[in-house]
Structure 1
Amino acid sequence: MKVEAWIFAICGIFFALVTPAYWVIAKDWTGTSALTMSAFLALMVAGYLGFHANRMDARLEDRKDAEIAEGAGEYGFFPPYSWWPLWNALPLSLGVYGIALGAWWLFVIALGLGMVALAGMVFEYYRGEHAH
């Protein structure tokens, strides 16, 4: 995690250096405060990652003497194709269309269809071809 801490530290330093220049050039409070908060956020994340990187065991990516074979094994579960995101997007678009038209009855229908589609996506791996 030391590499990640350095990446965030470099970003935080960059934002801290750019902020005064932005204020001098643009005199814009909104952008200046956004850059200031971005610098603080990046430095906060860098501090957190750096703090915990010193207290935990080194990952394979952090060790210089690590072998590729040490990283072998199961990486996790990667789901196969799924049609459920499409069926979740259709009621969402129908609901947004209903709100834009002011047809609340269309929004209610889309809400019902969306609950069915969401339940189908949640329980996708409990039934059918990819059940386990």
Structure 2
Amino acid sequence: MKGEAWLFTGVALFFAVTGSVYVTFSTDPAGIAALAVSFLMSALIAAFLWWGHTRVGRRPADHKDALVQEAGGKRAYFPARSYSPALAAVGTALLGLGVVQGLWLFLIGVGVLVPGVYGFVFRNPDLAD
């Protein structure tokens, strides 16, 4: 995770430098906003990856002499059979379409999204199959 953290830290620094030069020589608000948002998003990902590196520690991918067999082990819980991701995806798509098409589709999207989010939040990994 350390390599990915360095990568996104470099991307964030690139957007910070590019954005500061752009602010100095340009008055275009759209470009300034785009570079500012790009910097903030890459800095957010870099901060998350640095936090993950301190929490999880060094992974086998961080070692130069690591073997493929060392990559095993339980890092996180991912349920094998769950309808929650599909419900959340369809509900979010319907919400987006509902903004354009009308309130009726937006409300259907809310009705589909709520059970998906509920399944994400309240799924107990101890009771999973």
TM-score, normalising length: structure 2: 0.50
Where is the helix percentage greater, Structure 1 or Structure 2? 2
The structure number with the bigger radius of gyration is 1
TM-score, normalising length: structure 1: 0.49
